[in-house]
A and B are shown apart, each in its own frame.
Chain A
Amino acid sequence: MDREQFLESLETALKSLPETEVREILEDYQMHFQEGTSDGREEADIALALGDPTAIGRIFRADFMVAKAGHSATFKNVAGAATAVIGLGLFNLLFVAGPVLVFFILLVAVWALIAMLALVSITVIVASVFYALFPSWFIVGGVSPFLLALGFFSLGLGALSLSGILGIAMAFLTRFCFRLLAGYLKFNLEFIRRRKSV
C-alpha cells in the first residue's frame, strides 16, 4: 500500500464525519508521510507502520460520535455513538449492547405506559361529552345522565393531567438517561482502549 491508497482508504472510513474534521485528520497523515519520506523511508514502509487505515478510521469515528453524544445527548447521537463503539470490535458488543438495550427497553416501556394513560383518559372525556349530549345512546338505569357525564369528564381530565405530568417528568428523565448513557459510552471507549488496540 502506498501513500495514495492509505489516504484514500482512510478518507473512505471517515466519510460520515464533518468535512473540516476529515480534512484535519487527513492533513496529519499527509504530513506523516511527508516527514517519513524526507526521513528516507519508503511510502510502503510508512503505511505498513501506520497500520490498517480502515481500523484507524473507525477509532476516529467512535471518538467523534462519543464526543458528540457527550455534548448533546439526543437519541440519535447516543444511538450513533453506541453503534460506532460496537463497530470497534465484537468484544465491545457485550459491554455496550447489554446496558444500552436495557436502557432503551425501560424508557420505551414507561413512555408506552404514559401514552396509554393519555389515550384512555381522552377516550373517557370524549365518551362523557357524547353521553351528556346523547344520553339515549347509553343505557344506565336510575342515574342522572348529566351527573354521570360530569363524573366521567372529571375522571378523564384528572387522568389526562396525570399523564401530562408524568410525560414532563419522563422527558427530563429520558434526557438524564441519555446523558448517563453517553458518559457510559465514553467510559467504555476508554476501557476498551486500555485493553485492546488504542
Chain B
Amino acid sequence: MNTQFKKGALVLCVLTVLNRKDCYGYELVQTISKNIDVAEGTIYPLLRRLASEGYFETYLQESAGGPPRKYYRLTEKGQEYRDELAEEWTAFTTGVSRILAAPINGKERSSD
C-alpha cells in the first residue's frame, strides 16, 4: 500500500486506540504496528507531539516485575480531535469507495 496514504491515518489510529483504553508506549506501538506496516520508532515522536499539544496526559503506573510504565490517557481535547479526524476519514474513504465501486460516466477504464 502507498506509504503516504497509510501514514496519514496514523494520528487517527493512535487517538482511537487510546480512546478505548489507556496504554503504555510499547503496548500502543505494538497495537499499531500489528495492523499497519510502519517504522515503530516513528510513533514515539508522534506521541510526544500530541502530548505536548494537549491531546494526551501521561502518568506512571507500577508494572509486575519491572520499572513503572508511562501510560498515555486521552484528554477531552484529544477526544474531540479524534472525533473530528474520524469524521473526515469516514467521509473521505466513503467517497473513495464510491468512486472505486461505480465507473464514472458509465465508462470503464481499461487496465494498463
Residues of A within 8 A of B (CB): 25, 27-29, 31-32, 34-36, 38-39, 49-53, 55-56, 59-60, 63, 67, 193-198
Q: Apart from A31-B24, A32-B26, what are 14 other A-B pairs with CB-CB below 8 Å?
A: A25-B44, A25-B48, A28-B47, A32-B25, A32-B44, A50-B39, A51-B39, A53-B41, A56-B39, A56-B41, A60-B48, A194-B8, A197-B3, A197-B42
Tell whether, in the assembled complex, residue B52 and residue A67 are in contact, meaning their CB atoms are under 8 Å apart.
yes
Q: Which residues of A contact B29 (CB under 8 A)?
A: 32
A31–B66 Cα distance when bound, in Å, is 10
Shortest beta-carbon contacts, A-B, top 4: A51-B39, A50-B41, A35-B26, A198-B42
Q: Which residues of B contact A194 (CB under 8 A)?
A: 4, 7-8
Q: Please tell me which one of the listed residues B7, B45, B70 contacts residue A60 in the complex, with CB atoms under 8 A apart.
A: B45
Can you offer 20 A-B residue contacts whose CB atoms are under 8 A? Answer: A25-B44, A25-B48, A28-B47, A28-B70, A29-B44, A31-B24, A31-B67, A31-B70, A32-B25, A50-B41, A51-B39, A51-B41, A52-B41, A56-B39, A60-B45, A196-B3, A196-B7, A197-B42, A198-B7, A198-B10
Question: How many residues on chain B are close to A (CB under 8 Å)?
Answer: 28
Nearest A residue to B7 via CB reads A198
- Binary interface profile of B, 15-53, with partner A (CB < 8 Å = 1, else 0)? 000000000111101000100001111111111110010
Q: Which residues of A contact B38 (CB under 8 A)?
A: 198
Tell whether, in the assembled complex, residue A31 and residue B3 are in contact, meaning their CB atoms are under 8 Å apart.
no
B36 to chain A, nearest CB (A): 11
B11 to chain A, nearest CB (A): 8
A39–B66 Cα distance when bound, in Å, is 12
Tell whether, in the assembled complex, residue B67 and residue A51 are in contact, meaning their CB atoms are under 8 Å apart.
no
A195–B29 Cα distance when bound, in Å, is 20
Q: Which of B10, B41, B52, B69 has the most CB of A within 10 A?
A: B41
